[in-house]
Amino acid sequence: MEQYVIVLIVDDEKIVAESTAEIFRLAGHRAVAVTSPARAVEVAREIQPEILITDVLMPEEDGITLAVKIQALFPQCKVLLTSGQAETSNLLDEAAARGLHFDIVAKPLWPPELVKRAEQLAGVTPNSQSATV
């Protein structure tokens, strides 16, 4: 029996959000991409994600704040932060001081590694398609 993960991807850059969602779909998972943290909360209520993959630095709200909101709604949801910018270390340090610890992946994202990390976080056996992404 194949296992799939329900993934919510949030990035203010639409091409990044959509292409990351497509990577997960090709690996056999359900993935929804949004470009706004506010929209992400709405979508999360609909799909009940198992994994949240979010950019850390976004104009509307940072990914750490979003992750806290999503995990308050869905405590089982695992979080994978993404960032291509050095400024994220301050936000991560502040989060750690508040007892919040999240995995982070540097951009540019390498598809096989991203899928593998998400599957590991979700505790699922990799789908056969994952190896070909």
Indicate if the alpha-carbon torsion angle 84, 12, 37, 48 is positive or negative. negative
Nearest in space to 62 (alpha carbons), one of 95, 31, 29, 19: 95
Enter the tokens of residue 57: 């630095």
Kindly report the length of the chain: 133
Tell whether 57 is covered by a domain.
yes
What is the tally of structural domains in the chain? 1
CATH of the domain at 96: 3.40.50.2300
Provide the domain limits for residue 12: 6-127
Query: pLDDT digits over 67-101, tens only?
Result: 999 999 999 999 999 987 656 677 777 777 888 77
Predicted structure pTM score: 0.84
